[in-house]
Amino acid sequence: GEDVEQSLFLSVREGDSSVINCTYTDSSSTYLYWYKQEPGAGLQLLTYIFSNMDMKQDQRLTVLLNKKDKHLSLRIADTQTGDSAIYFCAEVDQGNLIFGKGTKLSVKP
Amino acid sequence: EAGVTQFPSHSVIEKGQTVTLRCDPISGHDNLYWYRRVMGKEIKFLLHFVKESKQDESGMPNNRFLAERTGGTYSTLKVQPAELEDSGVYFCASSRDRGYEQYFGPGTRLTVT
């Protein structure tokens, strides 16, 4: 079946850049997504990238897609303490989302 | 525009009891999805409605789970009888188009003791 893999933890200092990586298996995914879950909250759609794109930038967020290697990354520039959360990578399989286990980002002041 | 809402936010029940979770999607979203995350595992797809019809229920774990979406508006997910392994967070999501930009609710944390 389809599978999405992410590292479980990432710790950075405030002001540094964070890079969260993800690998996926379904090469037919039209879109790939990043969701953010803050403590006690639901999943917030953070950004997404269409599969025919290599890069998408949205303010402090940069998404890079390497289709050949099935590798997706999320870069957060100037990471703030408010960015501390769990970040989920997701691919689409027949209209439904396949999630990774999530990467817990800790931002130290 | 109001987001996806779920009720209750937290439910604690005993094994063998029944629980019904409710999801109200974003107005105008025909697609409604249920997902679940059990402790330490990935968020897993359960089922997908298009309006009132079940489009895909391949993720439903067993026949103790029953989902409905009467009238194509809100949806309910009933677990009867609940087992310990049903504990987890149940998320509902909705989208205008299938698979595209799914917006999630805050989830219902179900604890079966």
Let me know: does B6 contact B72? Beta carbons within 8 Å. Answer: no
If you average pLDDT over residues A32-56, what whole number do you get? 92
pLDDT band, residue B2 (cuts 50/70/90):
confident
Among the partner-chain residues A43, A45, A99, the one whose CB lies closest to the CB of B101 is A45
CB contact under 8 A, A31 and B104: no
Angle at Cα B34 formed by Cα B27 and Cα A57, nearest 5°? Answer: 70
Average pLDDT score over residue span B63-76: 94
In B, which residues are within 8 Å of A101 by CB distance? 40-42
Residue B27 pLDDT > 80, yes or no?
yes
Cβ distance B101 to A100 less than 8 Å, yes or no, reads no
Q: Please provide residue A82's backbone torsions phi and psi, each rounded to the nearest 5 degrees.
A: -70, -10
* Chain-chain contact of A99 with B104 (C-beta, under 8 angstroms): no
Chain A residue nearest residue B90, CA to CA:
A42
Q: Do A97 and B35 touch (CB under 8 A)?
A: yes
Minimal CA separation from A43 to chain B, in Å: 6
CB contact under 8 A, B102 and A30: no
H/E element, B45 = strand B43-50
What is the average pLDDT across A68-84? 96
- B12-16: list long-range contacts, CB under 8 Å, 24+ apart: B12/B111, B12/B113, B13/B82, B13/B110, B13/B111, B13/B112, B13/B113, B14/B82, B14/B112, B14/B113, B15/B81, B15/B82, B15/B83, B15/B84, B15/B112, B15/B113, B16/B81, B16/B82
Per-residue pLDDT for A1 more than 70? no
Decide if A48 and B101 are in contact by the 8 Å CB cutoff.
Answer: yes
Across chain B, mean pLDDT equals 94
Decide if B45 touches A, using CB distance below 8 A.
yes
Q: Predicted confidence band at A2 (pLDDT cuts at 50, 70, 90)? A: low
State the Cα–Cα distance between residues A83 and A86, nearest whole angstrom.
Answer: 9
